[in-house]
């Protein structure tokens, strides 16, 4: 009979593997459908901006859901929340398979987002709460590798399934996640750590402001800006709320602010590349959806190998450097796409490898950084906010690039002189992403200066988190005294 220690090790291995599978399904759920966008666009006779709504609606609901699930851990057990999330994933998948119109398809994707966001929000919480400090690096690296692999394997499966069976069968892949519910219910404690109250007013104000801005970007209807007025009301609200939806103390921390900007920008770029590149390969290079899947898969697979190396040497390299590598890769990748994406499909694979490596670096680096930078009491809301901001960035990126592909001015002038094909709109969309990557690199420089000498080794995590917590509280008190 195995000892208590052996049973604990087996439990951690099983949970790590289950989280790996669910994160893989979660990411594939995003990347599979971006590959199928050209075929869905053709089936329903959609413009690029309308087709983008299948991605943006999913992303924004996913973003809000990550923070919502994180806050709900104060009132419900993690196994219960995971059961609800994976149940919604199953319902959305069935609805998508049976739906016969584009609005139903978008609604199914929104329901799916309500399910997959539970994995995104609670996966790191499970690791930070129920894994020993020394084993968290491996677990987080495993989650990051699942994310990188999912962004590569998703396009491959998406292309093959769409070509041979039809895009509706993409929904069947997500049903596998429902099968993992019994594992979570058996091996994760059902206790509820009740602390604080749920700020429903703050949640609604913030959600309405994000969705309104997204509607403005995707539709061009300025009346939606009225909903964005909820954001200053949200800021006014959290200054006076005892336990706000987003803690003001974290939002005022300068290192945390830079981390939010980096997460937003890198996801903005990567999701845009995932949306634009299949359209480029289909409309400019004349490739089938299956071939598009293989091209993207090979690039992402190579980045997964790089991430395995970085995960094994994260303590020696340092988290700030890994986060910095993401900005450098995004700069290089977007410039190459904007100048040479019209040449050969094989080059597109190389460019996607570069940008995918950048995305994987920030996925692993930022998650690891937050588990060490934030105090345990801040982990749920702090990491949830990072998740919210980065997937909001992905939603805005897809909405904006989808709009640019339709705008006349994007086709009239060429912003990168190395582009040779006549379809300048694609080059200009990538050029916009290059500008975003440059902004990310500019913000990273002061971020690195502030963090590279910090003791972020996992052995120092607890003491550093306490120091950070005291520092943030000190700043909060100082600001309050200054206002008085």
Asked if pLDDT for residue 480 goes beyond 50, the answer is: no
Q: What is the rounded distance in angstroms from the CA atom of residue 130 to the CA atom of residue 107?
A: 35
Asked if pLDDT for residue 426 goes beyond 70, the answer is: yes
Q: What is residue 265's predicted lDDT score, i.e. its pLDDT? A: 94
The tokens describing 261, both together, are 């900007």
The tokens describing 425, both together, are 């709109």
Asked if pLDDT for residue 323 goes beyond 50, the answer is: yes
Mean pLDDT of 18-22: 89
Q: How confident is the prediction for the chain on average, in pLDDT?
A: 80
Q: Which residue has the tokens 């429903």?
A: 200
Q: What pLDDT, in 10s, does the model give residues 68-120? A: 887 788 788 889 999 999 999 999 999 998 888 889 999 999 999 999 989 88
CA-nearest of 40, 63, 65, 64 to 52 is 40
CA-nearest of 29, 37, 447, 34 to 259 is 447
Q: What is residue 195's predicted lDDT score, i.e. its pLDDT? A: 60
Distances (CA, A) of 188 to 127, 181, 412, 458: 11, 11, 57, 23
Contact 340, 417 (CB under 8 A): no
CA-nearest of 16, 127, 114, 15 to 67 is 114
Q: What is the rounded distance in angstroms from the CA atom of residue 143 to the CA atom of residue 25?
A: 12
The tokens describing 32, both together, are 């599979």
Q: Within a 10 A sphere around the Cβ of 342, how many other Cβ atoms?
A: 21
Q: What is residue 332's predicted lDDT score, i.e. its pLDDT? A: 95
Enclosing H/E stretch for 75 = none
DSSP structure class, residue 359: H
The tokens describing 358, both together, are 């950048």
Mean pLDDT of 6-10: 67
- Give 9's pLDDT tier (boundaries 50, 70, 90): low
* CA-CA-CA-CA torsion sign (161, 164, 167, 171): negative
Q: What is the rounded distance in angstroms from the CA atom of residue 178 to the CA atom of residue 245?
A: 29
CA-nearest of 71, 68, 48 to 60 is 68
Q: What is the rounded distance in angstroms from the CA atom of residue 120 to the CA atom of residue 390?
A: 12
Q: What pLDDT, in 10s, does the model give residues 160-178? A: 888 888 888 999 988 888 9
- Give 450's pLDDT tier (boundaries 50, 70, 90): confident
Q: What pLDDT, in 10s, does the model give residues 237-287? A: 888 887 777 777 777 888 998 999 999 999 999 989 988 888 888 888 888
Please give the full DSSP string across 108-143, using - where no structure is assigned: HHHHHHHHHHHHHHHHHHHHHHHS-HHHHHHHHHHH
Q: What is residue 220's predicted lDDT score, i.e. its pLDDT? A: 66
Q: What is the rounded distance in angstroms from the CA atom of residue 97 to the CA atom of residue 95?
A: 5
Q: What is the rounded distance in angstroms from the CA atom of residue 456 to the CA atom of residue 370?
A: 10
Q: What is the rounded distance in angstroms from the CA atom of residue 286 to the CA atom of residue 18?
A: 39
pTM, entire model: 0.76
Asked if pLDDT for residue 477 goes beyond 50, the answer is: no
Q: 467: Cβ–Cβ under 8 A, 6 or more apart, which residues?
A: none
Q: What is residue 112's predicted lDDT score, i.e. its pLDDT? A: 93
Asked if pLDDT for residue 397 goes beyond 90, the answer is: no
**Burial, 182: exposed, middle or buried (Cβ in 10 Å; 0-12, 13-18, 19+)?**
exposed
Asked if pLDDT for residue 138 goes beyond 50, the answer is: yes
* CA-CA-CA-CA torsion sign (42, 213, 158, 152): positive
The tokens describing 447, both together, are 């971020």
Q: What is residue 85's predicted lDDT score, i.e. its pLDDT? A: 93
Asked if pLDDT for residue 123 goes beyond 80, the answer is: yes
Domain boundaries of the chain, sorted by first residue: 4-190+245-477, 199-244
- Give 478's pLDDT tier (boundaries 50, 70, 90): very low
Q: What is the rounded distance in angstroms from the CA atom of residue 288 to the CA atom of residue 265?
A: 30
* CA-CA-CA-CA torsion sign (59, 328, 332, 299): negative
Contact 35, 296 (CB under 8 A): yes
Highest mean pLDDT among 298-302, 380-384, 432-436: 432-436
Q: Which residue has the tokens 């602390």?
A: 195
Asked if pLDDT for residue 218 goes beyond 80, the answer is: no
CATH number of 4-190+245-477: 1.20.1250.20
Q: What is the rounded distance in angstroms from the CA atom of residue 320 to the CA atom of residue 450?
A: 10
Q: 408: Cβ–Cβ under 8 A, 6 or more apart, which residues?
A: none
Of the chain, the percentage scoring pLDDT greater than 70 comes to 87
Asked if pLDDT for residue 467 goes beyond 50, the answer is: no
Q: What is the rounded distance in angstroms from the CA atom of residue 296 to the CA atom of residue 345?
A: 10
């Amino acid at each position: 009979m195995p000892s208590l220690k052996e049973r604990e090790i087996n439990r951690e291995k099983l949970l790590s593997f289950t989280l790996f599978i669910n994160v893989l399904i979660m990411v594939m759920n995003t990347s599979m459908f971006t590959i199928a966008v050209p075929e869905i666009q053709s089936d329903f006779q959609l413009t690029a901006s309308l087709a983008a709504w299948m991605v943006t609606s999913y992303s924004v609901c996913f973003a809000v859901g990550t923070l919502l699930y994180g806050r709900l851990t104060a009132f419900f057990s993690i196994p219960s929340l995971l059961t609800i999330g994976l149940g919604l994933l199953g319902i959305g998948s069935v609805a998508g398979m049976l739906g016969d119109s584009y609005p139903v398809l978008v609604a199914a994707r929104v329901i799916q987002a309500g399910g997959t966001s539970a994995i995104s929000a609670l996966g790191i919480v499970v690791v930070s709460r129920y894994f020993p400090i020394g084993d968290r690096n491996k677990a987080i690296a495993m989650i990051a590798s699942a994310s990188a692999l999912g962004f590569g394997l998703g396009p491959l499966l998406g292309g093959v399934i769409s070509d041979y069976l039809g895009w509706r069968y993409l929904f069947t892949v997500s049903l596998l996640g429902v099968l993992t519910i019994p594992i979570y219910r058996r091996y994760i404690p059902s206790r509820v750590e009740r602390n604080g109250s749920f700020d429903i007013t703050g949640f609604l104000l913030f959600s309405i402001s994000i969705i309104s801005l997204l509607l403005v970007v995707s539709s061009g209807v300025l009346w939606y800006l009225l909903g964005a007025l909820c954001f200053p009301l949200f800021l006014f609200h959290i200054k006076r709320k005892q336990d706000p939806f987003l803690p003001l103390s974290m939002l005022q921390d300068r290192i945390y602010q830079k981390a939010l900007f980096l997460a937003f920008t890198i996801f903005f770029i990567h999701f845009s590349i995932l949306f634009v590149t299949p359209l480029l390969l289909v409309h400019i290079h004349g490739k089938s959806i299956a071939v598009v899947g293989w091209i993207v898969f090979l690039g992402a697979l190579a980045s997964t190998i790089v991430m395995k190396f970085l995960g094994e040497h994260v303590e020696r390299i340092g988290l700030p450097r890994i986060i910095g590598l993401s900005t450098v890769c995004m700069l290089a990748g977007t410039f190459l796409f904007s100048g040479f994406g019209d040449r050969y499909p094989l080059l597109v694979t190389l460019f996607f490898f570069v940008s995918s490596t950048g995305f994987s670096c920030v996925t692993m680096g930022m998650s690891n950084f937050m588990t060490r930078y934030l105090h345990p009491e801040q982990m749920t809301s702090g990491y949830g906010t990072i998740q919210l901001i980065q997937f909001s960035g992905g939603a805005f990126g897809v909405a904006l690039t989808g709009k640019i592909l339709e705008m006349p001015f994007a086709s009239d002038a060429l912003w990168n002189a190395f582009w040779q094909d006549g379809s300048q709109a694609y080059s200009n969309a990538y050029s916009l992403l290059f500008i975003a990557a440059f902004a990310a690199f500019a913000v990273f420089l002061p971020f690195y200066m502030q963090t590279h000498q910090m003791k972020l080794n996992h052995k120092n995590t607890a003491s550093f988190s306490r120091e950070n917590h005291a520092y943030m509280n000190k700043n909060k008190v100082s600001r309050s005294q200054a206002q008085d």
